Amino acid sequence: MIKFSGSDWCGPCILFKKTIFDTPEFQSFADKNLVLLIADFPRQKKNQLPKEQQELNDKLAETYDPEGSFSLPGID
């Protein structure tokens, strides 16, 4: 499961993490049933990813979201 996230700017992403991803129930389910990959796209300079990781995340976005539809207008 790939979760694209804007961890420091996307309100729905932050809420989803707090209410779903961080719960013990989801963690237990995921440990048994999923391979999780979080492709994060932070905007704040202090949260920037290492260059290599950002390049990998960019490639994932190009492959799985070439039209940029996971960044919906009015959602951030």
Q: 58-67, pLDDT tens digit by residue?
A: 999 999 988 8
Which CATH homologous superfamily contains domain 2-64? Glutaredoxin (3.40.30.10)
Non-local (6+) Cβ contacts of 17 within 8 A are: 5, 7
Q: Categorize the per-residue pLDDT at 75 as very low, low, confident or very high, splitting at 50, 70 and 90.
A: very low
Q: Over the stretch 8-55, which tens digit does the pLDDT of each residue have?
A: 999 999 999 999 999 999 999 999 999 999 999 999 999 999 999 999
Does pTM surpass 0.85? no
DSSP labels, the chain: -EEEE-TTT-HHHHHHIIIIITSHHHHHHHHHH---EEEE---SGGGPPPHHHHHHHHHHHHHH-TT-TTS-TTT-
Domain ranges of the chain: 2-64
Q: Is it the case that residue 76 has pLDDT exceeding 70? A: no
